[in-house]
Amino acid sequence: MSAAWIILGCAIIAGLFFFYVCGDASHFDEKGHPLPGDVFGTLYQGGYVIPIVITLLLTVLTLSVERLFAMSRASGKGKVAQFVINANKKLEEGDIEGVEKLCDEQKGSVANILKAGLVRYRDVESIDDLTNVEKAGLIQKEIDEATTLELPYLEKNLNIIAAISSLGTLFGLFGTVLGMIRSFAAMGNEGAPDSTALAVGISEALMNTAMGIGTGAVAIITYTYFSGRVQSITDAVDEVGFAIGQAFVKTHGGITK
């Protein structure tokens, strides 16, 4: 599903939650103040920036679940590190059919990229006018091209999560400023300050601060986690790509044709 539709869906859910759940009359007393200890009523007092921050938070959580499934598919059926070890071992032995069998069993991005390299491996064996080092370079080029095709799938939506890590905090600060403006306006009245308006302003400021910082923190954590997983898959691809090139040169005798 497109990220735009996910954001729109999260915005609708956040709006419904804010106005119909947090804004329900059961969370307030007769004067319109939140009941003591009522989280929903207090959240509603945070003002209209709160549903925007909730939208960002829901978007991060939704995209994180989507990326979790995507990374699981990209990793394949077994552990990537163990697959790389087994593949390297068979490449050193010159067992290309064994490596292909491992790729069929493993599946996932690393296995797909390695299998593309193995197809090229067989193709270059029939070329007579290149040295084995040049043939190994063609295999590496095929690995690089296959990696280029896989990376967009692995990195999809991570840029949105990265953007929300900043936007969540910024919107939280924006709501905080609005709440402080309301508080100072209440204190600026002649005579005794309007304690209710002052309390509402402070509550709005604090709720926006908490929600903004929380959303930014969740976005940073998820972005760091998934970026690390993408990097680990990329490192695995680099390792098997180097190994298959070395295996070709070793099996076919150095720089000879």
Number of structural domains (the chain) is: 1
Residue 161 falls inside a structural domain: yes
Residue 39 falls inside a structural domain: no
Q: What is the extent of the structural domain holding 126?
A: 52-257
> pLDDT tens for residues 165-182?
999 999 989 988 887 887
Q: What is the pTM of this model?
A: 0.82
What string of DSSP letters covers the chain?
--HHHHHHHHHHHHHHIIIIIIT-GGGB-TTSPBPTT-HHHHHHTT-TTHHHHHHHHHHHHHHHHHHHHHHHHHH-SS-HHHHHHHHHHHHHHT-HHHHHHHHHHH-HHHHHHHHHHHHHHHHHTT--SS-HHHHHHHHHHHHHHHHHHHHHHHHTTHHHHHHHHHHHHHHHHHHHHHHHHHHHHHHTSSSS--HHHHHHHHHHHHHHHHHHHHHHHHHHHHHHHHHHHHHHHHHHHHHHHHHHHHHHHHHHTTT--
Residue 159 falls inside a structural domain: yes
Residue 8 falls inside a structural domain: no
State the average pLDDT over residues 219-242: 89
Residue 130 falls inside a structural domain: yes
Residue 185 falls inside a structural domain: yes
> pLDDT tens for residues 49-59?
999 999 999 99
- Whether the per-residue pLDDT at 215 is higher than 70: the answer is yes
> pLDDT tens for residues 41-96?
888 888 889 999 999 999 999 999 999 998 888 888 888 888 888 888 888 887 88
Residue 45 falls inside a structural domain: no
Residue 123 falls inside a structural domain: yes
